[in-house]
Amino acid sequence: MKLAKLAASAFAVASVVLSAGIASAQTTENIQPKGLTGSYIGAGVAAGVTNGGRQNDAATFGGNVQGRYAIPNAPASVRGSVLFGGDSTAIMPMLTYDAPIAKNTNVYLGGGYSFQTDEGQASQLGNKNAPVVTLGAESEVAKNVVLYGDAKWGINAYKGSDADALSFQTGLGYRF
């Protein structure tokens, strides 16, 4: 019994000492960078999937133009989004936290505000100015080509209604 305990202890100490040598031999060159760096601008489709229950607030399909400016040395970005194709256009400045999940790939979560060009008329994100929360992902799929997709939640985004708006976007962007 004592011999087994002694052997187990020796094995444990040896593995700790030997693994320390292996860990110190690794360099930053061996570690793959994670996350998408840089900024981009892109365009694609947008689909509003909610209805506020009144006139001029139906679900709307259209397009989007989105951009990302990566804040240097910070896990955050300033983003802008324009959803068009309904009777009103939604223009959104946003700030997001960007979390790297793989090489050239991020997920992001953030918020901002949706400004409607014609309040009371339908857009993909409701029919009145409202706070917005966004959740999305972005990945470089070819050199300087970014595929992005997100959901935008407009809080209390319909006139005369307490309803929230939800819109899904996807598109391709040029990274610079």
Which CATH number does the domain housing residue 144 bear? 2.40.160.20
Let me know if residue 145 belongs to a domain: yes
Let me know if residue 149 belongs to a domain: yes
Q: What is the pLDDT of residue 33?
A: 64
**DSSP label of 119:** T
Let me know if residue 95 belongs to a domain: yes
Q: Tokens standing for 21? A: 């040598």
Q: What is the pLDDT of residue 4?
A: 43
Q: What is the pLDDT of residue 57?
A: 66
Let me know if residue 9 belongs to a domain: no
Running along the chain, 176 residues long, what does each successive block of 10 average in pLDDT? 43 42 49 84 96 74 97 96 95 98 97 96 94 98 98 95 94 97
How many C-beta atoms surround the C-beta of residue 70 within 10 A?
Answer: 20
Q: Write the single-letter amino acid at 113.
A: Y
Q: What is the pLDDT of residue 32?
A: 57
Let me know if residue 69 belongs to a domain: yes
Q: What is the pLDDT of residue 34?
A: 87
Q: Do the Cβ atoms of 138 and 105 come closer than 8 Å?
A: yes
The boundaries of the domain holding residue 94 are: 40-175
Residues ≥6 apart with Cβ < 8 Å to 53 = 158, 161, 163
Let me know if residue 14 belongs to a domain: no
Let me know if residue 73 belongs to a domain: yes
From 110, 112, 109, 52, select the one nearest 86 (Cα to Cα).
52
Q: What is the pLDDT of residue 18?
A: 41
Q: What is the pLDDT of residue 109?
A: 98
Let me know if residue 17 belongs to a domain: no
Residues ≥6 apart with Cβ < 8 Å to 73 = none
Number of domains in the chain: 1
The CA-atom distances, in angstroms, between 131 and each of 8, 32, 111, 141, 156 are: 60, 37, 7, 31, 8
